[in-house]
A and B are shown apart, each in its own frame.
Chain A
Amino acid sequence: MIGNFDFDVIRRALPYLFFEGMRFTLTLTALAAFGGLVFGTLIALMRLSGYRLLGRVAGIYVDFMRSLPLVLVIFWFYFLVPYIGQWLTGASRPITVGAFASSLITFIMFEAAYFSEIMRAGIQSISRGQPAAANALGLTYSQTMRYVVLPQAFRNMLPVLLTQTIVLFQDTSLVYVLSITDFLGAASKVAQRDGRLVEMYLFAAVVYFVICSAASFLVRRLQARIAIVR
């Protein structure tokens, strides 16, 4: 079988795989990581706010999201988002949402639950004296968070946040279930068109492996550097 290995199939598919597929994957990863971090931080702040109800709502959301498989959540949002859109805009029928928007919303909402746990740990890792000192200086709650607590929490948790982003990068391949052309989706479409499953899936595996290995190597180095500072 190795004798039949056709590198030319891969070569011919390269522009499609990377400009179409990988671009989708990377854009989705970047936007979902950013959105997930923003929402995750808000959820973490809700949980730590001291308001019982707010904390409970945030806690239930996080537990709920974390006990469902991502594939199920992808299906949920794929069917739900048009109705939410209808409700938000007051349209008479469910609005049409593109594949990209639908998966972006899914990943932001899903990752927010995971990022919020990381940010919560980060905020809790900061010594009590910091917000107390900020308070003594007369900073308001939002100023304390913005200038004192969150920058430090973010910095302490940077390696963990980046590792979670690598996991997110791998998880974006699951949009395959909606037949979306992400990197793996592109590889699989070419594989099925040309009947070259072995070549395309091995190639996709190698690409994912190289990217994730390099990224996690960089995260480890970053972690070592941050560890020295403390």
Chain B
Amino acid sequence: MGTGTYLDLLLSGLVVTLKTSLLAWIIALISGCVIGVMRTLPSRTASWIGFGYVEFFRNMPLLVQLFLWFFVLPELLPKSAGLWLKQLPNAPFWTAAIGIGFFMSARVAVQLQAGISSLPRGQKQAATALGLTTMQTYRYVLLPMAFRIILPPLTSEFLNTIKNTAVAITIGLVELTGEARSMQEFSFQVFEAFTAATVLYLIVNFIVATAMRFLERYVAIPGYIAGK
């Protein structure tokens, strides 16, 4: 960098943290929803695939998964593809977003599955009786309810995503914790550096949690304990 204060350094780290976690969260939501729905489908194959997917991504530490994406995947691909991956500009960012995204997607899938199976059986049956296809049943009946029910656990999963981006420091992503670490190494001001990073994490946490609480109140289902 050369110019700018340590605060600029930390804030640019914060931006990287937020960017990475947003991209990871989008990946986690999309693939988590697909897998979560698959686990509740009547088809045996679909629910087994969903089960295998969740087990695969839940039973390895995030750090190991990031290493697999970052160090192992380019070697296993055909030579040209591997080379392209290695030379990708900003590789730690993309690897971190994808790795953390898939890691979190297993958790999203579990939450969504729990949300769907918490709905009364009558909802699905009524939808079938009305002549809706499986696709329509999920689109118009089950998912809108399930998402509103699982919003609180999803909030904490999103906060976990933000926190998990710090793990990407190990593959060279210089996010908030990484910037605090390098500030500490440049300036030898250990406690100032980590205190600043801590405060920034607390602020982000507070903003996200508050915003989500408003959203939860807005979409709460009337008649449920959380609703009006």
> Chain A: residues with CB nearer than 8 A to chain B?
1-2, 64, 67-72, 75-76, 79-80, 170-171, 173-174, 176-177, 184, 188, 197-198, 201-202, 204-205, 208-209, 212-213, 216
The stretch from B53-61, B87-95, B211-219 touching chain A is B53-61
Provided the pairs A71-B166, A75-B181 are in contact, do residues A209 and B59 lie with their beta carbons within 8 angstroms? yes
Knowing A1-B76, A79-B191, A177-B170, the reply to whether A69 touches B177 (Cβ < 8 A) is: yes
Task: State which of A67, A79, A80 has its C-beta within 8 Å of the C-beta of B201.
Answer: A67
Q: Does B72 contact A (CB under 8 A)?
A: yes
Specify which of A75, A202, A216 is in contact with B72 (CB 8 Å cutoff).
A202
Contact of A71 among B56, B167, B190 (CB under 8 A): B167
Question: Is the pair A69, B59 in contact by a Cβ cutoff of 8 Å?
Answer: no
Main secondary structure of the interface of B (DSSP, over half): helix
Closest CB in chain A relative to B97 CB, distance in Å = 16
- Tally of contacts, chain A with chain B, CB under 8 A: 101
Binding site for A on B (CB under 8 A): 55-56, 58-65, 67-68, 71-72, 75-76, 159, 162-167, 169-170, 177, 180-181, 184, 190-191, 194, 197-198, 201-202, 205-206
Q: Bound complex: CA of A67 vs CA of B184, how far in Å?
A: 21
Give chain B residues whose Cβ lies under 8 Å from the Cβ of A201.
Answer: 64, 67-68, 71-72
Known contacts A69-B163, A173-B64; 10 additional CB pairs below 8 A are A2-B76, A67-B159, A69-B162, A72-B177, A72-B194, A79-B194, A173-B61, A197-B67, A201-B67, A209-B60
Q: Closest CB-CB distance, A69 to chain B, in whole Å?
A: 3
| B71 pairs with A173, CB closer than 8 A | no
